[in-house]
Amino acid sequence: MEKVDLTQLEEGESGVVVDIQGGYGLVRRLESLGIRVGKKVTKVSSQFMRGPITVRIDNSQVALGFGMARKIIIRVAK
């Protein structure tokens, strides 16, 4: 078991969200698009120069900024 933030996840790798290091506003925004503690996420892509990260949750994909992604802590089974 290893904990990383979402930006450190490799493309194609999955993990479970264990913590969101942000205020209530961020938590609420993320969960409205399905990203919340306990959900499995798979990283689809990242962009050059700290660009947005795209992840898959269930059947949908969400793109989020690098700064936001850094606040999402993932547990990866290695």
Partner 1 sequence: MKKILLMGNPNVGKSVIFSRLTGVNVIASNYPGTTVEYTRGYMRLGNEKVEVIDVPGTYSLSPTSKAEKVAVEMLKQGDLVIDVVDATNLERNLNLTLQLLKDGKPVVVALNLWDEIRHIGILIDAEKLQEILGIPIVPTCAITGEGIKKLVSEIPFAKANTYEYEEEKRWEKVGEIVSCVQKITHRHHTFLERLEDVSIKSVTGIPLALVSLYVVFNIIRFIGEGLIGIIFEPIFENLWAPLIMRLSDFLGNQGFIHDILIGKLVEGKISFVESLGLLTTGLFVPLAMVLPYVFAFYLILSFLEDSGYLPRLAVLVDNVMHRFGLHGLAIIPMMLGLGCNVPGAMATRVLETRRERFISATLMAIAVPCMAQIAMIFGLIGKYGAQGLAAVFGTLLVVWIVLGVLLNRLSKGESPEIFVEIPPYRLPYVGALLKKLWMRTRWFLREAIPYVLFGVFIINVLYSLGIIQFIGRLSAPVITGILGLPQDAVGALIIGFLRKDVAVGMLLPLGLNLSQLVVASVVLTMYFPCVATFAVLIKELGTKDMLKSTLIMISSALIIGGLLNLIL
- Site residues (CB under 8 A) for partner 1? 11, 28-29, 31-34, 36, 44-52, 54, 58-68
CB of 39 to partner 1, least distance (A): 9
Q: Which residue has the tokens 């993320």?
A: 30
- If the CB atoms of residues 2 and 29 are measured against partner 1, the closer one turns out to be 29
CA 46, CA 9: separation in Å to the nearest integer?
A: 10
The nearest distance, CB 29 to partner 1, in angstroms, is: 6
Smaller CB separation from partner 1, 21 or 45: 45
- Which residues have C-beta within 8 Å of that of residue 76, sequence separation ≥ 6? 1, 2, 3, 4, 9, 13, 14, 15
